[in-house]
Structure formats: C-alpha cells, structure tokens
Structure 1
Amino acid sequence: MERMWELLLAQARQHTWLQMDETTVQVLNEPGKENTTKSFMWVIRGGPPDTPIVLFHYDPSRSGSVAARLLEGFQGTVQTDGYAGYDFLGRAPGVVHAGDWDHVRRKFADVRKALGRKGKGGKTGKADEALKLIGEMYELEREAREKGYSAAELLVMRDQKLRPKIGAFKAWLDHLAGRVPPKSLLGKAIHYALGQWHKLDLFLDRAEVPMSTALVENAIRPYVIGRKAWLFSGSPEGAQASARIYSIVETAKLNGWEPYAYLKQLFERLPTAETDADIARLLPTCAPEPNTSPAEPDATQ
C-alpha cells in the first residue's frame, strides 16, 4: 500500500490544481517528543474532477518543509488557508498560491458571534456587511456549478459578476483598515483579509479553482471523526500506516467504490502484483468493475 500511495501522489502532482491542509494527531513513542505533544496529518486533495485523489501523510512537524517535500515537482495552483507554513508556495517556481475565502468569512462570523454574546442584540454592523457580500459571491459560484457551466462560461460569469463585487469588497476593507482598532476582532478580520488579498482573487482567472478549500476540509472530516474514537496512534509507524490506509479508502470512496468491495478486491490481487503497472491497475482511481458489490460477511466475524 506504500507503493500505491506513492503512485497516487505522482498522479496528484501531474494535475494542475490541488488543495492542501493539515490537522493534528497525537502519536506515542515519537523520538524526542513527549506523548502529550501534537504531531500532524497533512492532507492533499487533488487530481482531475473525474478521478479525485485524497492523500494523508503523517509528520511530527508542521513546518512548511513537509509541504515542500510532498509537492516536489508539482507545477500549477496550490490552494490553502492562511497558515504561514504555506507561504513558500508564493516563491516556488511554476506554482501559483491561491487563497481561501472560507477563512475570511469565518473571521467576520467570529465578530458577529462575539458581539452577540456581549448582548448587543446581534447588531454587528460592519461584520454583517462583509458576510452579506461574501455570501452573495458564494451564491453566484453555487448557481454556476449547479447549472453546469463550462470552464469558459464560469470565467465569463466571474469576470462580469464576481470581479466587481470583489473589487468593492477590497475598497471597503481599505476604507476601514485605518479606522478600526487593529487588535479588535473586526480589525483582525479586516487585516487578515487584506494580508491574504494577493491570493484571494486568483481564482477569478482559473476555472478549476473554487473560492474555498472546502474540498480538502471535507476530505479531512472522516479522519477527524475517527480520531475522536481512537484518540492517538501508538507509534510513528502506526500513524503513517493509518495515513496510507485512509488515503486508499477515502480516494476509493471519491471514485465511486464501495469501500469493503474495493478492499476485498485489492487484498485478493495485491499479493500477485509484481510491477508498478500491476499496482497501478489496482489503484482506487481506476473505475469500479461492473456489478462490484461487497461479499456477504461470514456470520462468525
């Protein structure tokens, strides 16, 4: 399965766009680390729309050097949140670093929540203005996706309808930046958006790039749910094995496989795979065979 993961990573690197994120994991028996410290599960969501790929990779570090190793040789657009560890992407040859509007929206949502808790009757003013405008942008994107716009049609819509809204939002941020205390929640939301701006409007000219990193965040969710039950990995080797298995299973699900059916078929055939070509034919990005369904479990299991 390690070699399968490497082949999937090679496939993801060949595509022109991917998203990246990371989440924490507690790992026992890591050299030089206390058992209570956090390590990280890095996640890539990429590949073409008809054969999407999700890759999990364990590392004790959150350093951007981990992302750099995973993306070695990639040419295209990488979309991430505002974590500074990804800043190297803006300097990487052949790589465009796109931003995430979800985190901008969350910053202003935090302002609204905080003011609500202070008993101001939900009158959040500027935060509501920002959320309304961002919501209108998302609605335009949603409608275009639902109507099945081609790449060319999507770019035309973005240019005619989204670009003016984004320009108005930028002017609004610039106007408020010097008038709102920078350490207030609203000030932090404004300065976060402005600090990310060179990455936030890049999607306008790239049809394959969405406004947000929701795809990779959704890909992480099954792992986060599982983590609530099993809490930690017993060793670095176990954490990496977990990452490989999650990669295979979640990619299989995205490509239309029923997980049990896929794993059953995989483990029956993998022992006889002798070459990379043999292994490639077993990857979850290959189409499910007709009438593939899970076998009935043995009653004693």
Structure 2
Amino acid sequence: MRAEMQAVRDEAHAYIIRMLEQATLARQRMFGASSEQMSAQSRLFDEAEVLAQTSTDAHDTAPIAAEETQDASGAADATKAASKPARGKRAPLAAGLPRMDVVHDVPESDRTCPCGSPMVLIGQDISEQLDIVPMQVRVIRNIRNRYGCPGSQHAPVTAPLPAQPLPKSNASADFLAMLYTVKFVDGMPLTRFGRVLERHNAPVPSQTLARWVIGGGKLLQPLHNLMRDILLDCSLIHMDETVVQVLKESAKAPTSNSYMWVQSGGPPDKPVVLFDYDPSRSATVPTRVLEGFKGYLMTDGYAGYGDIGCTAGIERLACWAHVRRRFVEAVRVQPKGKRGKADEAVALIGRLYRIEREFKDAKPEVRHAARQDQSVATLAEIHAWMTKTVPLVTPKSALGTALAYMKNLWPMLSRYTERADLPIDNNRCENSIRPFVVGRKAWLFSDTSAGAHASAVIYSLVETAKANGVEPYAWLRRVLRELPAAQTVEEVEALLPWNLRLPEISPIPLP
C-alpha cells in the first residue's frame, strides 16, 4: 500500500512539474524576448525610428552633394561630401538600374570670370538619387485587321490574336505576372491588391482575381511537373510540411487544417523548391509526391515520414536543429541561474555545428574526413551522455521529451556523416517555407482546394526562381508571354529559371 501511495505521489509530482514547464514555455513564447532586436508588434509603429537609430547605411543621412567629380574629359575622382561625414559608407546604386540625367547649369549671368573672360566648362559634379515611378495601369487594345474579297465572294481573313495565358479573360500576361508577384512574393492578399487597382481607376473584383490565380496555376502546371522531374533525379531531398486553412474543402470543416508539403533539392546549378497541397497529413502524401525517388531524405521527426523512410532505396536523415530546439526549451524551464543537463546537450550539439561551420567551404574530401574524425567522435560522446541521462530524467518533462525525441531518431541523426554533401539539418527546407508562412499571416486562408493547388504551383515557381537568382516578376513576364504558345516539351523546358538568365528576361517592349 505504501509503495502504491508513493507511486501516486511521484506521478502527481511529475504531472505538476510538466504543467509548470508548459506554463513557463507558453509565457515565454507570448511575452518573452525575441532573438530579433524587437518583436514585430513593437516595430509596428516605430519602425522608421528604430531603423534610423541602428542603421549604418548613409542613404538617409548623407546630403545630396558631390559623390564624384568628373572633369571635362570624362575622368571621375571621388570627393568628400560637402557637409559632415555620414555615419556609414553608402552602397552605390545598382549599375543595372536605368539612369535619367538632369543637368543643373550655372546661370549665364554668373559665367563671367572676375577677370572679364567668359568661363568654360571644365567638369561636372555628379550625385545620384534613387527614384521610383508609381505603378502604371493601362489598357492594351489588340487591333486585328480584317481583309475581305472586294466582290464578297469569299470569306474574309482576320489577323490571328497571339496565344493568351487566360484566353477568356481581359488580363494581359504582364498583369498576371504582377498579380502573382504581389500575392506570392510580396504576400499581399487579393482584396488588398484589388484596392490598389481601384485607386488607379481600374477596379477588378477579388473573385475575378482569384479566378485568374486558379487559371494561372493550371497554365503553369507543366513547369511544376518538369521541376519535379529535376528534383526526383537528384540524390538528396529536404521535405517539410506546414498548415494551411481551406474554407471549402470537401468533407472537412472550414476551421480544420490542410497542409502544404514542401520539398527542396536539385543539382547545385538547378535548385528546386516544390509546394504540393493536400488536405491530409497522412503518410501516403510523401509516398505519393516522392514516387520514384531514390536517395537521402531529410525531414523532421514527424511519424508521417515513417512509411517512405522504410521504402527500398531511401535513406532517411533527421534534423539536428529540431533536436536542439527541444533542448533549448528545456533550458528555458530550468530555475534561473542554474545550469542543468539541457545546457550540456545544447553545448554538445553546438560542437557539431562548429565543425560544420569550420569546414563549410572546404573541399568535399576534406569535409568528409573532418566529419569522420571529429563529428563521429562528438556523436559518440552525445550518445554516451544520452544513454547515461535518460534513466535519471522524468520522461514527460521538457528534458525527458527532448531526450526521447533524440533517442528515437538517433540512427537518422548520425547518418549525415556518411557523405560530405549530406546536411546536418533541414534548415534549407524551412527557409523555403518561410515566405509562405509570412504570406499566410496576411491572406490567412484559401477559399477552395483549387485555389490552394494553384497557390502551391505558383509558390513553387517563384521560390525556385528566387533560389536560382532570377527576379520572379521579370521571369513570370517572360513565361506568361511565351508559355501559351509553347507546343513541345523542349519549348516549355526553355522557360525554366536556370535556362533563362537575367539578360534574357530583361523587359520586353510591347509591339
């Protein structure tokens, strides 16, 4: 009886500790200091003041004065600013931006020298200002000439209209490129963009904009398919998932969660980011979207990746960043000023990351040797520490759950040392998800599953363009102008981001 009472007391004590830890973590998430300088809420109204106090850039402080002096022969020399020096070095404005010269001349009455001789031009002082032209909304009138038989004996001939991205709409390719950019790159909801158009005397209902997004998703699907082929051909894929709310999903409540499944990978010169929408978070989804893949798969510890991890030809890797976060949470619930077991775990994991930073730019063979020599030894030390610590910790405490998480994933956590090119964590995929998460805070939900599918396609395209160093709007303009007329796979492939570099996607003049 006494043993039973003690067991009840121990269980109650563990439960109380667990509740206190959860309350502490919840309070820190809501009110604790962020790793950034200020929280987003506190920056809402004083962003300009904060940035002005912390900035080392001189864009806002340096006077409009001579940045270079040019003599009459065209040679330029750097000169000092006319007033007090700026607090930081001003970065030059991009050379690729168009320039418009505004010449400021000395009045003719002031160009007579005190000696009586007329002055001659000996040079110029040149400074540059960043300027912007507001968005211009215009109407393109497609005029198709029609020719007929003078005797009306034969049918007339009319000039054909070039292939259009959305034939039954009155949206041009460039308009759609802007629409997709402001929503999927800049995170602007369609209703807000509709208000922008209304201010420019070109109102378009939000429902119409939504239909154009869905239509664009269908049009751009072939590019999405080709990018998947590239992704599945490589030997390493990162994968993660995040929630998205879809109001009109069949057999689901409007408040329930659906999911965007994100994959990133591809060859070094052809990085790919793919989004796939699915109402489910089941294990069948990664198995379906990665059908045919053979290689290493980096994920977090979610059990839904278990089935594909058991597939022949797939070796699953686990993310050390997720493990570290759990131990960091365990550190946060420790008594203030005390160093505990969780601190030891964070320090040991930090050693793994120091090795990765030190050999990040080393040759593959050097990095692999460092992993075998240093990382494997550190992993053995972490495993020994884990084996020793697990029996001493309450299983359901913050430290206990962190230890259990690491123990369950251990074979996948230590596998990255097998090759030089395998990642230690899944940060690459999480960074790819971040723009979607930021945009979701603004537009909140998708109305239909068709809209969610279209969002997945367009997010895939713009994020892949960004990963390849291609400006999304300029690339989308080119794609939306040429894709409707593409007849072969080769013509579609030619529009992929790695096949169109910046000189090729510079603004195309209207005919």
Q: Normalized against structure 1, the TM-score is what?
A: 0.93
> How far apart, CA to CA, are the structure 2 residues paired with 1:16 and 1:50?
14
User: What is the CA distance between 1:175 and its match in structure 2?
Assistant: 0.5
Q: Which residue of 2 aligns with 1:165?
A: 378
Aligned 8 A contact 2:266 2:272 in 1: yes
User: What is the CA distance between 1:153 and its match in structure 2?
Assistant: 1.3
Query: Residues 284 and 291 from structure 1, CA distance in 2 versus in 1: closer, same or farther, beyond 3 angstroms?
Result: closer
Q: Which residue of 2 aligns with 1:94?
A: 313
Query: Residues 273 and 291 from structure 1, CA distance in 2 versus in 1: closer, same or farther, beyond 3 angstroms?
Result: closer
Larger RCO of the pair (alpha carbons < 8 Å, separation 6+): 1
Q: Please state if 1:182 is matched with 2:402.
A: no
Percent of aligned pairs sharing the same letter: 44
User: Superposed, which structure 2 residues align to 1:144-293 within 5 Å?
Assistant: 144-145=359-360, 148-290=361-503, 292-293=505-506
| More helix per residue | 1
User: What is the CA distance between 1:58 and its match in structure 2?
Assistant: 0.5
> How far apart, CA to CA, are the structure 2 residues paired with 1:10 and 1:121?
52
> How far apart, CA to CA, are the structure 2 residues paired with 1:92 and 1:267?
39
Q: Please state if 1:52 is matched with 2:271.
A: yes
Equivalent position SS for 1:61 = coil
Equivalent position SS for 1:82 = coil
Q: Which residue of 1 aligns with 2:7?
A: none
Q: Which residue of 1 aligns with 2:345?
A: 130
Worse overlay, 228-237 or 135-144: 135-144
Q: Which residue of 1 aligns with 2:255?
A: 36
User: What is the CA distance between 1:109 and its match in structure 2?
Assistant: 0.3
Q: Which residue of 1 aligns with 2:143?
A: none
In the alignment, residue 229 of structure 1 is paired with which amino acid?
A
User: What is the CA distance between 1:290 and its match in structure 2?
Assistant: 2.4
Aligned 8 A contact 1:261 1:295 in 2: no
User: What is the CA distance between 1:285 and its match in structure 2?
Assistant: 3.1
> How far apart, CA to CA, are the structure 2 residues paired with 1:25 and 1:213?
20
User: What is the CA distance between 1:125 and its match in structure 2?
Assistant: 1.2
Aligned 8 A contact 2:286 2:308 in 1: no
Equivalent position SS for 1:183 = coil
- Higher Rg: 2
Equivalent position SS for 2:237 = strand
> How far apart, CA to CA, are the structure 2 residues paired with 1:276 and 1:68?
26
Aligned 8 A contact 1:100 1:200 in 2: yes
User: What is the CA distance between 1:277 and its match in structure 2?
Assistant: 1.4
Equivalent position SS for 1:149 = coil
> How far apart, CA to CA, are the structure 2 residues paired with 1:289 and 1:212?
32
Structure 2: which 5+ runs fail to align? 1-219
> How far apart, CA to CA, are the structure 2 residues paired with 1:142 and 1:266?
38
In the alignment, residue 248 of structure 1 is paired with which amino acid?
L
> How far apart, CA to CA, are the structure 1 residues paired with 2:418 and 2:315?
12
> How far apart, CA to CA, are the structure 2 residues paired with 1:10 and 1:134?
35
> How far apart, CA to CA, are the structure 1 residues paired with 2:504 and 2:491?
22
Q: Normalized against structure 2, the TM-score is what?
A: 0.56
> How far apart, CA to CA, are the structure 2 residues paired with 1:243 and 1:111?
35
Q: Which residue of 2 aligns with 1:299?
A: none
Aligned 8 A contact 1:255 1:287 in 2: no
Equivalent position SS for 1:26 = strand
> How far apart, CA to CA, are the structure 1 residues paired with 2:386 and 2:465?
43
> How far apart, CA to CA, are the structure 2 residues paired with 1:124 and 1:279?
59
> How far apart, CA to CA, are the structure 1 residues paired with 2:267 and 2:248?
38
In the alignment, residue 21 of structure 1 is paired with which amino acid?
D
Structure 1: which 5+ runs fail to align? 297-301
Partner deviation per Cα, 1:104-152 (whole Å, 9 max, x = no partner): 101100101122xxxx22424111111011111111101211xx21221
Say what the alpha-carbon RMSD is for the aligned residues: 1.3
> How far apart, CA to CA, are the structure 1 residues paired with 2:234 and 2:251?
37
Aligned 8 A contact 2:283 2:308 in 1: no
Equivalent position SS for 2:498 = coil
Partner deviation per Cα, 1:184-207 (whole Å, 9 max, x = no partner): 111111111010001001100122
Worse overlay, 150-159 or 239-248: 150-159
Worse overlay, 89-98 or 242-251: 89-98
User: What is the CA distance between 1:98 and its match in structure 2?
Assistant: 0.7
User: What is the CA distance between 1:212 and its match in structure 2?
Assistant: 0.5
Q: Please state if 1:78 is matched with 2:291.
A: no
In the alignment, residue 326 of structure 2 is paired with which amino acid?
K
Name the count of aligned residue pairs. 290
Query: Residues 294 and 230 from structure 1, CA distance in 2 versus in 1: closer, same or farther, beyond 3 angstroms?
Result: farther
> How far apart, CA to CA, are the structure 2 residues paired with 1:3 and 1:106?
38
Aligned 8 A contact 1:15 1:46 in 2: yes
> How far apart, CA to CA, are the structure 2 residues paired with 1:181 and 1:34?
38
Partner deviation per Cα, 1:144-200 (whole Å, 9 max, x = no partner): 11xx21221111010111110011000000011111111111111111101000100
> How far apart, CA to CA, are the structure 1 residues paired with 2:412 and 2:371?
16
Partner deviation per Cα, 1:197-241 (whole Å, 9 max, x = no partner): 010011001222111000000000000000000000010000000
User: What is the CA distance between 1:295 and its match in structure 2?
Assistant: 7.1
Equivalent position SS for 2:392 = coil
User: What is the CA distance between 1:90 and its match in structure 2?
Assistant: 2.8
Aligned 8 A contact 1:12 1:18 in 2: yes
In the alignment, residue 279 of structure 1 is paired with which amino acid?
V
In the alignment, residue 141 of structure 1 is paired with which amino acid?
E
Equivalent position SS for 2:482 = helix
